[in-house]
């Protein structure tokens, strides 16, 4: 399922997008979707890392050392 949204972009960015689409034969929609997908993945990772850091610092979550992970999962023979 797809949805349509409206976004205002600076003319310079639209010009660059138009040029890229013309030069490559792909649609502007293709490049907008690709750019959003990449950027949203980055933002999700940043948000989750910040949230995890806040939780650890506030004592709501604990950390596990590599040595603990190895021991808990019987992986000592692999290293």
Torsions phi, psi of 12, nearest 5? -60, -40
Q: Which residues of the chain carry a pLDDT beneath 50?
A: none
Q: Are 68 and 61 in contact (CB under 8 A)?
A: no
Q: Which two tokens stand for residue 28?
A: 């502007």
Q: Which two tokens stand for residue 42?
A: 């980055």
Q: Which residue has the tokens 């600076």?
A: 10
Distances (CA, A) of 17 to 5, 29, 41: 17, 10, 21
What pLDDT is stored for residue 16 in this prediction? 98
Q: Which two tokens stand for residue 43?
A: 């933002």
What pLDDT is stored for residue 59 in this prediction? 94
* pTM for this entry: 0.65
What pLDDT is stored for residue 53 in this prediction? 95
Those residues with Cβ within 8 angstroms of residue 62's Cβ, 6 or more apart along the chain or in another chain: 56
What pLDDT is stored for residue 29 in this prediction? 96
């Amino acid at each position: 399922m797809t949805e349509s949204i409206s976004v205002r972009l600076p003319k310079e960015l639209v010009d660059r997008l138009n040029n890229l689409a013309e030069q490559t034969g792909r649609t502007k929609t293709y490049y907008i979707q690709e750019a959003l997908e990449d950027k949203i993945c980055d933002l999700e990772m940043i948000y989750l890392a910040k949230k995890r850091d806040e939780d650890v610092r506030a004592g709501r979550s604990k950390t596990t050392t590599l040595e603990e992970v190895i021991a808990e999962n019987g992986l000592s023979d692999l290293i």
